[in-house]
Amino acid sequence: VQTIGILGGGQLGRMLSVAASRLGLRCHIFEPGAAPAGDVAWRLTTAPYEDVDALRAFAESVDVITYEFENVPTSALDLLESIRPIRPNRRALAVSQDRLAEKTFLNDIGLATAPFADVPSESDLDAAIAAIGRPSILKTRRMGYDGKGQVRIGDGPAEWTGAPSVLEGFVDFSAEISVIIARGADGQVAAFDPGLNVHRDGILRTTTVPCGLPSKTTTDAVLIAARIANALDYIGVMGVELFFTPQGLIVNEIAPRVHNSGHWTQAGCAVDQFEQHIRAVAGLPLGDGKRYAAVAMENLIGDDLDRVPDLLRTPNVQVHLYGKGTPRPGRKMGHVNRITG
């Protein structure tokens, strides 16, 4: 493999591209909108997923295709896959694109999720609330991220999301953690240490390692992630978000790609999640996933960018900026990894 195709020109595509170039590989990024962070790639194509000629030219210029964003239309994937392999595979994408398919799959392989009900339309909402109870969270089946497309249902009247949804019982968790796991083409698996995640307004604020939970719990979390990766015959890096509750671990969702909660690996590991993903999809041996430092990752969201001059002067801090231009509230502009031990 010499050239890797990446669907998506956001910050994850950018950091994948940087990791690939360190390994002597080239990246061609295909971005359907504006590519806010894709400028570091060897080649950048900005065209809609409906542009069949652009898609075909993209696929023919690369050896393997991967993605930084799971919501790629099926028609585009069908065309791309007729030309080059897509890693992680289509099943991993299909399962993680749709919260109903995702939760059903997780339960089928014996993993616990929040109780859930299918809510195809607004008229099904009352029956779903009767089945799941309150409080609960209504989430669109597709396209949601950073808490978008979600409605919390408390005691009052329930709002509708506007699209086919699932209703999830509210999980009273004491902590949120995630496992970033890699699986190679040969089935070899390497997991990074689980991180403790703190969200604000539905957006990830910080990830801290070590996560502070007992080793039995972190081992269970890694085993859960490995079970998912094996069941999907997965190739690449995957993020698995979990809730820690008194009853044990509950899987929230899976992301078939590098994950924001894995950014700490850039400062904590010899081989970070981006290089690990490139290695896996390029068919190279996986790297060492061991953690060599304690790290606190903090996202720089919107006006947090004003803190960059100070952060650049802080000794134990690694600053990552995505080159996205103007900050907007809720927009991820960069992150910092603070080495804490």
Q: Is 90 among the annotated ligand-binding positions?
A: no
The alpha-helical segments, DSSP class H, found in the chain are 11-22, 52-60, 74-81, 90-97, 99-108, 125-132, 215-231, 265-268, 273-281, 308-312
Q: Does 146 bind ligand ATP (CB under 6 A)?
A: yes
Q: Which does 146 bind (CB under 5 to 8 A by kind): ligand ATP, Mg ion, none?
A: ligand ATP
Q: Does 241 bind ligand ATP (CB under 6 A)?
A: yes
Name every residue whose Cβ is closer than 8 Å to that of residue 168 and which is 6 or more positions away in sequence: 114, 115, 116, 132, 136, 137, 138, 139
Please say which residue, 42 or 145, places its beta carbon nearer to ligand ATP. 145
Backbone torsions φ then ψ of 76, nearest 5 degrees? -65, -40
The three-class DSSP label of residue 102 is helix
User: Which among 2, 37, 85 has a CA at the least distance from the CA of 29?
Assistant: 37
Q: Which of residues 101-130 bind ligand ATP (CB under 6 A)?
A: 114
Cβ of 317: how many Cβ atoms within 10 Å?
A: 16
Please say which residue, 85 or 202, places its beta carbon nearer to ligand ATP. 202
Q: Is 139 among the annotated ligand-binding positions?
A: yes
Q: Indicate the burial class of 146 (C-beta count within 10 angstroms; 0-12, 13-18, 19 or more).
A: middle
Name every residue whose Cβ is closer than 8 Å to that of residue 247 and which is 6 or more positions away in sequence: none
Q: Is 110 among the annotated ligand-binding positions?
A: no
Please say which residue, 63 or 146, places its beta carbon nearer to ligand ATP. 146
Q: Does 42 bind ligand ATP (CB under 6 A)?
A: no
Q: Is 144 among the annotated ligand-binding positions?
A: yes
Q: Write the interaction track for Mg ion spanning residues 284-303; mark x where CB under 5 A is met and - where it is not.
A: --------------------
Q: Does 137 bind ligand ATP (CB under 6 A)?
A: yes
The interface region with Mg ion, picked from 4-12, 32-40, 111-119, 253-261 by CB under 5 A, is 253-261
CB of 243 to ligand ATP, least distance (A): 7
Please say which residue, 68 or 253, places its beta carbon nearer to Mg ion. 253
CB of 224 to ligand ATP, least distance (A): 16
Q: Is 199 among the annotated ligand-binding positions?
A: yes
What is the chain's length? 341
Number of residues lying near ligand ATP (CB under 6 A): 17
Between CA 250 and CA 245 the distance in angstroms is 7
Q: Does 68 bind ligand ATP (CB under 6 A)?
A: no
Q: Is 289 among the annotated ligand-binding positions?
A: no
Between CA 221 and CA 32 the distance in angstroms is 35
The interface region with Mg ion, picked from 6-14, 17-25, 170-178, 246-254 by CB under 5 A, is 246-254
Q: Does 176 bind ligand ATP (CB under 6 A)?
A: yes
The residue type at 306: D
Please say which residue, 45 or 207, places its beta carbon nearer to ligand ATP. 207
Give the position of tokens 């997923």: 49
Give the position of tokens 């790639």: 41
For residue 285, the number of C-alpha atoms closer than 13 Å in the C-beta half-sphere is 2
Q: Does 200 bind ligand ATP (CB under 6 A)?
A: no
The three-class DSSP label of residue 118 is strand
Please say which residue, 26 or 205, places its beta carbon nearer to ligand ATP. 205
Question: Taking CA 52 as the corner, what is the angle to CA 51 and CA 56, rounded to the nearest 5 degrees?
Answer: 120
Binding residues for ATP: 99, 139, 144-150, 168-171, 176, 199, 252-253
- Binding residues for ligand ATP (CB under 6 A): 114, 137, 139, 144-148, 168, 170-171, 176, 199, 202, 241, 252-253
Binding residues: 99, 139, 144-150, 168-171, 176, 199, 252-253
- Binding residues for Mg ion (CB under 5 A): 241, 253
